Amino acid sequence: MNLRPRLPAALFGAALALSLTPATVSADTTQRPNILFIAVDDLRVNLGCYGDAQAITPNIDALAQTGTLFDRAYCQQAICSPSRSSLLTGQRPDTIQVYDLHTHFRKAAPDTVTLPEYFKQNGYRTQGIGKIYHWGVDDPQSWSVPISLVGDRVKTDRPRSGSYVTPHGIEVNEAVKAKPKTGPYAGYQWGLAYESQDIPDEEHGDGALTVAAVRTLGELAKNKDEPFFLAVGYLKPHLPFVAPSKYWDMYPPEDMDLSDFTDAPAGIPRIALTKSNELRTYAEIPKDGPLPLELQINLLRGYYACTSFIDAQVGLLIDALKKNGQWDNTIVILWGDHGFHLGDKTIWGKHTNFEEAVRAPLIIRTPDGTQGQVAEGLCEFVDVYPTLCALAGLDIPGNLAGVSLQPVMDDPAETVKAYAFSQYPRGPNIWGYTVRTDRYRYTVWEHLRDQIRIGVELYDHTTDPAETVNLAHNRDYADTVKELDQILDEQTPTAFPARQIIH
């Protein structure tokens, strides 16, 4: 499915020029801090350090206590490849023209210098293990050595199960029953949506990634004169929700609390919702309609079990840093590429502009920084690139879409931006553009080809943090809608260049 808006040539050229500005390179690597860059797939803010009493995540919680937790960090599009490509290039989806799972950002912006590539240019050894870019969208010039996608497999006679077969050959599930022939997941063979495995961590795919990462950290420790940028990308808690059984045991079914709000928001335009299509391509999941209560509980258990499993892997990485003597000179960043609906608003999955989909964890720890602080101001994933440059003492390229969050880390009461922007397509010509302010989320849905507005959403987070009632047509909020419309219009040239088609 082609989800690319048709940008006029002159407009696209102007946007592309921003992304091709040459970066300033600093060569001195003396005392440069290392970077451990941990990406977690589909991780929402259901973590102990974010206030979720149900989550058992002691290692991520401990990491947050050594650095800064960004409480309101937002991705630019709630799906893997656009979000990751945006963060790793420091550009918004409209600039790099990445909106789906398959388009490579270098097709539209071939000369873009990515975050790891920039660190490589500045004397860092850059290595990737696991899912950093999306599968099939890797970027070889980002890395000093070829990326390792599968980690170190532990030899076992036990048959592997619990994942899915994709065109990229990832894992095998013994119960493959569904193979959609059409739609965005065409050609994928999905197995069970959740599974408890009685296996050691290291026999699981993400456990194998940890084994490889720990080994790599040991190798990197042998050359203390060359700083490293090591990116480790975990697949869970992405579907299928598969984890070793000891993590499932942490979440008895009778203790699981489902979302308090499982209805669609009142007054919502239908186009804002999804039918949870990704989940419904798995075996034994109803193809339409509500999910049985027992199934929802098992899905929720699976998601939390996977989150705790990844938390354990993060703990092993931190332990390795400390064992190797690297902890005192390493910046650690942990982020989820986007959020995930867990039954709220009728949705299981991402692919929306709601708070649950675009808000995701972001934790940054520096060796000499303030510990255990929470930054409540708004920030975006395009801010990660300039932030890591600033923290490492590198010049910040002048072409990036974000800003450094270092002032916020120095003083969490500081704010560096008033708005966070995200977007999501509903086919090749229909787009939802959303702005998050300190108080509101405002979203417009527009048909670019026909140049018409399809729907509008407004949520007041002061009175309705779960976004249950659309206030866009409430007369009491008419002035607010007008003001937020103006903000979207003013920011469109840099945040959403494609949107200028209808303005």
Nearest residue to 128 via CA among 115, 143, 113: 143
Catalytic residue among 49, 75, 104, 134: 134
3-state secondary structure 418-440: CCEEEEEECCCCEEEEEEECCCE
| Distance between CA atoms of residues 479 and 502, nearest Å | 22
| Distance between CA atoms of residues 477 and 176, nearest Å | 50
Count CB-CB contacts under 10 A for residue 38: 24
Q: Classify 257 as helix, strand or coil.
A: coil
226 touches 31 (CB < 8 A): no
- Gyration radius of the chain's alpha carbons: 22
CA angle 80, 263, 71 (to 5 degrees): 50
| Distance between CA atoms of residues 79 and 3, nearest Å | 13
Q: Classify 202 as helix, strand or coil.
A: helix
Tokens of 459: 């949520």
| Distance between CA atoms of residues 18 and 108, nearest Å | 12
* Phi, psi at 465, each rounded to 5°: -65, -20
93 touches 84 (CB < 8 A): no
* Phi, psi at 340, each rounded to 5°: -165, 130
Catalytic residue among 75, 80, 306, 379: 80
| Cα–Cα separations (whole angstroms), residue 332 to 67, 183, 492 | 9, 38, 33
372 touches 64 (CB < 8 A): yes
Tokens of 378: 């708004």
Cα maximum dimension of the chain:
66
Sequence-separated (6 or more) residues with CB below 8 Å from residue 403: 383, 386, 416, 417
The yes-or-no answer on residue 80 being catalytic is yes
The yes-or-no answer on residue 134 being catalytic is yes
Q: How many residues in the chain?
A: 503
Q: Provide the annotated active-site residues.
A: 80, 134
